[in-house]
Every structure is written in C-alpha cells, then in structure tokens.
Structure 1
C-alpha cells in the first residue's frame, strides 16, 4: 500500500513572519501622528534613553542611575562621571520633552475631536431629538 500525497489546500500558504512584519512596517503610515512618531523615531529616542540608563545601572549602580536621571543626585557625586552626565542631561531634557510632547498631542487630539459645530447643526439635532416618538409597533397577533 502506497500513500498518496495529500492534495494541496484550496488557498495560498499563510504569509510568513517576515512578510507580516514587512506589511506591519508598511502600514505604520496609517497610524495617528503620535503613533507614527512613536513607532518610527520615538522608538530610537526611547532606546537611546534606555541604553544610557542600563549602562549607568551597570557602572554606577541602579539606585544611583535612577537618582542621577531624576536629578536627585548630581552626576559629579558618582563615579565614573563620564557616563552619568549624559544620563543627567537625558533625565533633565529629553524625558520631560517626550512626556510633554505626548501630553500635548493627546490634548490636541481631544480638542479636535470635540471641535465646535455650527449652531444650525446643533439646533437641528436638538429638534430631531425633541420630536415625539411615533406610536409603538403593533405586536401582530391581534391581541
């Protein structure tokens, strides 16, 4: 008895992981502006900040790295200082700028979503909502 190969399925094979990743990267332009920035350029900025934090965590200690980044401890009080100064500048300038940009974008989007409508449109909608509803539908069984 010989086994015949299974007949091919009806459709094309499912796309591979590489194809799905390439399609996802191509679709990033459909994201909102902040989402697009976060995926394209923001990821690099956040990766640089994380790399600085990790480097300092290994060299000066995790608690000192946090304290330097948060501005609690001066970078001149830790050793080695060559890596603490860029971390301090990042914590002082880059992180607040990213958070401020994100907050500004979210607020702008909310304002645009609730943009004022024309008075005539609002009055027409209020009149439509204020109309009395019609009679209830009959049950159809004659009772």
Structure 2
C-alpha cells in the first residue's frame, strides 16, 4: 500500500498578498497604470473629499470641488482652497492623462508601419541625414 504525501500547508496571507502584487506586473501597460498609479491618486482624492464633507458639509464640499462656491466663503477657507485646487487641477489632469494615454495606446495598436521603418523611409526620401555644415 502506497503512503500518501505529507500534508503541505497552504500559503499564508502574506504569501498570497505577495503573489498578488507580483502578478500585477503581468497586466498590460494601461491596466498596470490604472491599478498602481491611478488608484493611489483616486484614494487620495476620496480622502480629501470625505474629509471636506465632514469638515464643511457634503453640499459645500461638492460645490467647492466643482467651482460653484468660492473657498473664502466656507467655514474653513484653508480646506476650501485645497478642495477647490483639487477640483480645478487634480481631477482634470488625471482624467486627461488617462484619456491621452489610452488614446495613444489605441493609435499605436493600429499603426501599420513600425517607427524605425518609418524613420528610415523618411531618411532615404530626404536624401540622408542633414550635414553638420563643417568646412574642410
């Protein structure tokens, strides 16, 4: 009668977490950016908004974020300015960066000629690289 293999303990929680973090590297560039970078910015923005909702009130925090209320008119103007700046700078910049990156990826995916081949074709059509202009 064959003996059964010894019981092998399962992975610990820390080993599972480590494996999950390592598996993120296998995502494509857009998904990797969304998971690693955009999630951090989004979490910071949520913390800023929730803290603003608790300090100033939810409707005032929203109005500051979208620019309907001036930051100087709220109970805590210093925090009103932080929310207002986040609404005017952080949200559009992160949204624009994500949209630009994803559009660029789609354009690169549909490009039929490799960049090196295109540059070589342009060099041959123009007569070669420009001269340095040295006399000799």
TM over 0.5: yes
Higher Rg of the two aligned structures? 1
Q: 1:8 to 1:17 in 2, by over 3 A?
A: farther
Instruction: Output the CA distance in 1 between the equivalents of 2:104 and 2:34.
Output: 16
**Hey, which bits of structure 1, 4+ residues long, moved more than 4 A?**
7-11
User: 1:32 corresponds to which residue?
Assistant: 28
Matches within 5 A, 1:113-124: 113-116=109-112
Structure in which a larger fraction of residues adopt helix: 2
Instruction: Output the CA distance in 2 between the equivalents of 1:117 and 1:8.
Output: 58
RMSD: 2.3
Question: Structure 1 regions of 5+ residues with no counterpart?
Answer: 1-6, 119-143
Instruction: Output the CA distance in 2 between the equivalents of 1:44 and 1:110.
Output: 24
Give the SS at the match of 1:116: coil
User: 1:94 corresponds to which residue?
Assistant: 90
Q: How many residues align?
A: 112
Q: 1:115 to 1:12 in 2, by over 3 A?
A: farther
Matches within 5 A, 1:103-122: 103-116=99-112
Instruction: Output the CA distance in 2 between the equivalents of 1:10 and 1:32.
Output: 39
Bigger mean CA deviation after superposition, 37-46 or 77-86: 37-46
